[in-house]
């Protein structure tokens, strides 16, 4: 009981620093979590970017041409893209059926709500886009139905789409993400959970099953793979004549070059700041604990002179350094729990780390205490 009273008295003298470091420790852990998430986000995109560049992907940017809108409809609220006219619908659909086929050059994806059979969303990958994902398509099938990892139990069962029944062929990999140069969803994103995946090279099939997916949403994510100049001219001509839009073309390398410099510098600056702040805080906490123990050396010496054993002094130091870290430990645990990282294993690792650091510091200062005490507290 006397030992605990002495330790509490020692801690009370340092309460201001303990509270400050408790707050800063929580912020540091939040920083580390953000750095980890940032790294995961960037590394996931980097893998997808590598696939896009390796496959010679060109981004197709669809831009509306207002000059093609009839004057009588200029004041009417319309979509950014006009629907194909009846005279051009056939050529529009025929072109996309061919362009999304195995011999074609186009790819796209669409995300739609799909509240059926326990699913929340359906993601449709058209044509060449399916080859850019982490899912390995079977060569013998032109249309593959798959599910997200959390719906793996559906493999082998059937799903109904627009009165047609399809068998679920497989589950996508656990690291299945969604990448487009203008958008990225990591594998643990909510929109990728409880998801039905359709990989197909048939535009006609999707137009029949999901008519809403075959128009504007499809054009928004359009890409081309290994397209020749003549094929791009044909694409521009078909879309201009069918829906009155202009197709801007940018290679993946050009897109990365334009976006990389500023983004990389910003990310590196944040990363350097986070790491520097973390190192500075940890160093300050360790230095301040050492300072506090050094400041209390005369008190320890007096107690030792009046009969306190060396073991008693060491335990007082150890409990002080452990208690010094209680608030920082609680702050760290709180931030971890808010980010769903407070698993028993993580908490045990955290506590063991704190106890190890406290033991090392106490051992170092106790050795210094014994040397100073044996020399009559003379300072060298």
Q: Give the model's pLDDT for residue 13.
A: 78
**Cβ-count burial 348-369 (b if 16+ within 10 Å, e if not):** eebeeebeebbeebbeebbeeb
Query: Binning pLDDT at 50, 70 and 90, where does residue 9 land?
Result: confident
Model confidence pLDDT, tens digit, residues 263-296: 555 666 777 777 777 787 778 778 877 888 888 8
What is the 8-class DSSP label of residue 128?
Answer: G
Neighbours of 243 (CB within 10 A): 23
d(CA 60, CA 106): 10
Query: In the predicted model, is pLDDT for residue 153 greater than 90?
Result: yes
Q: Are 320 and 366 contacting, i.e. CB atoms less than 8 angstroms apart?
A: no
Residue 228 CA, chain-centre distance (Å), reads 35
Element (H, E) at 250: strand 245-251
d(CA 305, CA 354): 31
- Average pLDDT score over the chain: 80
User: Does the predicted TM-score (pTM) go above 0.85?
Assistant: no
3-state helix, strand, coil in the chain (%, to 5): 60, 15, 25
CA distance from start to end of the chain: 35
Model confidence pLDDT, tens digit, residues 109-148: 999 999 988 999 999 999 999 989 999 888 778 899 999 9
Share of the chain above pLDDT 70, in %: 84
User: Where along the chain do its domains lie?
Assistant: 2-43+262-374, 66-243
Strand order from edge to edge, sheet including 121-127: 170-171, 143-147, 195-200, 121-127, 106-113, 223-225, 57-64, 245-251
Query: Binning pLDDT at 50, 70 and 90, where does residue 7 land?
Result: confident
- Tokens of residue 279, six digits: 């190192």
Q: What is the mean pLDDT of residues 190-194?
A: 92
Cα four-point dihedral sign 326, 332, 337, 338: positive
């Amino acid at each position: 009981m006397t030992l605990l009273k002495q330790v509490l008295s020692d801690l009370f003298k340092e309460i201001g620093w303990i509270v400050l470091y408790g707050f800063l420790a929580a912020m540091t852990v939040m920083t580390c979590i953000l750095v980890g998430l940032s790294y995961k986000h960037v590394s996931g995109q980097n893998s997808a970017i590598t696939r896009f560049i390796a496959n010679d992907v060109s981004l197709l940017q669809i831009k509306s041409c207002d000059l093609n809108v009839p004057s009588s409809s200029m004041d009417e609220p319309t979509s950014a893209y006009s629907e194909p006219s009846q005279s051009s619908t056939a050529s529009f659909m025929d072109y996309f059926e061919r362009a999304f086929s195995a011999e074609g050059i186009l790819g796209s994806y669409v995300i739609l709500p799909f509240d059926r059979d326990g699913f929340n969303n359906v993601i449709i990958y058209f044509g060449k886009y399916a080859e850019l994902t982490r899912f390995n398509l079977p060569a013998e099938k032109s249309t593959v139905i798959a599910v997200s990892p959390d719906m793996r139990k559906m493999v082998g069962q059937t799903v109904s789409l627009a009165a047609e029944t399809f068998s679920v062929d497989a589950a996508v990999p656990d690291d299945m993400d969604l990448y487009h140069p203008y958008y990225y969803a990591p594998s643990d994103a909510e929109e990728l959970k409880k998801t039905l995946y359709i990989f197909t090279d048939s535009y006609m099939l999707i137009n029949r099953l999901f008519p809403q997916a075959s128009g504007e949403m499809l054009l928004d994510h359009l890409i081309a793979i290994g397209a020749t100049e003549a094929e791009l001219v044909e694409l521009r001509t078909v879309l201009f004549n069918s829906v009155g839009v202009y197709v801007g073309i940018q290679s993946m390398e050009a897109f990365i070059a334009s976006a990389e410099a500023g983004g990389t510098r910003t990310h590196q600056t944040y990363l350097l700041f986070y790491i520097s702040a973390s190192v500075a805080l940890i160093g300050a906490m360790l230095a301040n604990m050492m300072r506090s123990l050094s400041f209390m050396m005369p008190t320890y010496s007096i107690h030792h002179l009046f009969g306190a054993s060396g073991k008693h002094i060491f335990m007082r130091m150890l409990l002080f350094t452990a208690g010094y870290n209680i608030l920082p430990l609680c702050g760290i645990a709180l931030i971890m729990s808010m980010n769903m990282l407070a698993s028993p294993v993580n908490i045990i690792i955290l506590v063991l780390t704190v106890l190890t650091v406290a033991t090392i510091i106490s051992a170092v200062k106790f050795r210094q205490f014994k040397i100073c005490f044996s020399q009559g507290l003379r300072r060298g």
